[in-house]
A and B are shown apart, each in its own frame.
Chain A
Amino acid sequence: MRWLNTRTITPLLFMAPVLVFAIVFFFLPVGFSLYISFHKWDSLSPPEFYGFTNYVYLLSKDPQFYRTLVNTFVFAGGTIAIGIPLALVVAYSFSQSRFQTVWRSIYWLPMITNIVAVAFIWKFVLNDAYGMLNRGLALVGLPGPGWLTNPSLSMFSVIMVFVWMQLGHNMLLVSAGLQSIDDTYYEAARIDGAHSGNIFWDITLPLLKPTILFLLITNFITGISYFALMMVLTEGGPAGSTNVTSLYMYNMAFSDLRLGRASAAAYILFALIFIVTLIQLRLFRRGGVEAHN
């Protein structure tokens, strides 16, 4: 009897810290921000019930909000479109190379660097006239554009910096996926006389589907909720070209004290993330792939 008793109590004791945390730092915040998203609140006076006004304002009146949403999706889409193929190619080369520890250490350097350092490093590299990149381009006679000062180029630059940061991480996930592919597949293919190009397209890529799905989903969620780099590197500029929704929300809350509207913005963005992730999962399920386990 005592044994049975401990068996019921023990897991609860082990779960206790996490349960308390879940209540105080998960359910409470999620509920609280939903609550204030229906209020007008500057935190200095009591919240005033606002109904759907905050949501309606953002979706129908605020021209900035749409601009930031577009920027957010361009950023997330851009990091995936450039980052994942790049990670595939680099990981493919990496997994068959020697000196893996050396390569790995090098490719991980950006990933373990704090965002303030990343931003400040690139601010210098991307400087218009005297940055390392444009000086390098000058050596080969190419014109150096205003990477961070030209509003039509700045988002691209931010995406590239982010891809640079994340490449090591993505590369490693892919190479883990590559290692888990059974060698017998390759053996069989070689015996059938397939050459390396075919092997990559016909065997490696299909077997990597779960890895790619995982990368797509995690990179998408990261990309769409990300704003640290924009905050520190471009402050959303120039001309608002790198102002993403989460950064817009942050400034709305902590500069203008429009906490209700900022929470509504957070919820709208969260809803979009949720929907797109579900679509991604469905598409891949149809392709016969399960994510996680």
Chain B
Amino acid sequence: MADAGGIVRSRTLGSRALTVLKYTLLTIGAIVMVAPFLDMFFGALRTVPERLARPPVYFPQTPQWDNFAQVFREMPMLQWGINSLITTLSVTVLQVTSSAMAGYALAKFEFFGRMTAFRFVLGAQMFPFFLFIIPMFFILRYFPLVGGNDIFGKGGMGLLNSYLAIILPFAVSWHGVFLMRQFMMAVPSELLDAARMDGAGEFRIFFTIVLPLVTPGLATLAIFVFVYQWNEVIWTMTVTRTAPNLQTVPVGIYLLRGAYVEEAKMSVQQAAIFLSILPVMIAFLFLQRFYVRGLTAGGVKG
């Protein structure tokens, strides 16, 4: 790339220059990636006078670690964290289970409508989420026989104001089904047939033979879903606006922003933001290799 001029230089010199260029580029990129986080971190440690000074003091002189403690004193951070965990784990479990089951059926069984079902799974991924926001809200609202509703879905609030309102719309993802189908394709059919010969039931085969073989795939999908769901904001906010006891960490922080618009309170808000990122960051550092596999498996067959 660097040799666009077309001058043929000595190969070692050219490739060394290229190497320097590559590392410079990667380093600049890395700074751009990390610096905004540091900016917030310094912000979280500033005192009020430091914020109000003009120009504001950039590097906090005496880091206010107490701002982090104040987050827990002022905001229902613990409740939000529990809500985030409950919804994120539930969605992860449901999505991994449903995807593994459907992916297995699509990959390893011949049945009527299989190709149609598979094409649907591919096509459904093209439907953007915004199309579902309005109708899904009302489907949950008028869900029959729950939350005070009668059989016609009237009378109560249906599934709204419950964890299910946050969880159910994400119980299945078409991308997840597709991903698991790709992983299931690699399971040798001979192994399944042999087990059937031995008289094993279909569900036993699924649980004792198939699932162990695709564990890496399950882990991949699980971390994928976990990260996505922990960070989900639009839908969760739509259904928990009036249910503060169900709000998750990012949604809670966002909806409480009105109380932190004043310069004097911003350090606490920045501390809360930092805390909201932490769990995913830690989980991700340990599990990122699964993420790589997921991206490539779901992506392109070159």
Residues of A within 8 A of B (CB): 3, 6-8, 10-15, 17-18, 21-22, 24-26, 28-30, 32-33, 36, 43, 89-90, 92-94, 96-97, 101, 103-110, 112-117, 120-122, 124-125, 129-130, 132, 135, 164, 167-169, 172-173, 176-177, 180-181, 195-197, 200, 207, 210-211, 214, 221, 224-225, 227-228, 231-232, 246, 249-250, 253-254, 259, 262-263, 266-267, 269-270, 273-274, 277, 291-293
Contact = CB atoms under 8 A, between A and B. Distances in A.
Contacts of A36: 134-135
Contacts of B296: 172-173, 176
Contacts, number: 267
7 contacts: A8-B111, A29-B135, A105-B285, A113-B231, A172-B296, A210-B302, A221-B126
Interface string B32-54: 11111101100100000000000
B127 interface: yes
Contacts of A32: 135, 138-139
B173 to A, nearest CB: 10
Contact of A121 (B37, B131, B134, B295): B37
The 6 closest A-B pairs by CB, nearest first: A225-B128, A29-B135, A11-B109, A93-B22, A114-B231, A14-B105
A24 B168 CA distance: 10
B36 A180 contact: no
Given A25-B168, A90-B26, A195-B3, A249 B130 contact: yes
Q: Name, among A11, A43, A130, A207, the residue most crowded by chain B CB atoms within 10 Å (CB to CB).
A: A11
Contact of B129 (A104, A114, A121, A225): A225
Contacts of A21: 98, 171-172
B206 interface: yes
Nearest to A96: B22
B3 A15 contact: no
A259 B135 CA distance: 9
A84 B154 CA distance: 49
Interface in B12-28: 14-15, 18, 21-23, 25-26
Contacts of B33: 106-107, 109-110, 164, 167-168
Interface of B: 1-4, 8, 11, 14-15, 18, 21-23, 25-26, 29-30, 32-37, 39-40, 43, 55-56, 58, 97-98, 101-102, 104-106, 109, 111, 114, 117, 120, 122, 124, 126-136, 138-139, 168-169, 171-172, 177, 196, 202, 206, 227, 230-231, 233-234, 238, 249-251, 253-254, 257, 269-270, 273-274, 276-277, 280-281, 284-285, 288, 291-292, 295-296, 299-302
Given A7-B109, A107-B29, 19 more contacts: A11-B111, A11-B114, A15-B106, A17-B171, A26-B124, A28-B135, A29-B131, A93-B21, A105-B284, A105-B285, A114-B250, A114-B276, A120-B40, A120-B269, A173-B300, A225-B129, A228-B234, A269-B130, A270-B127
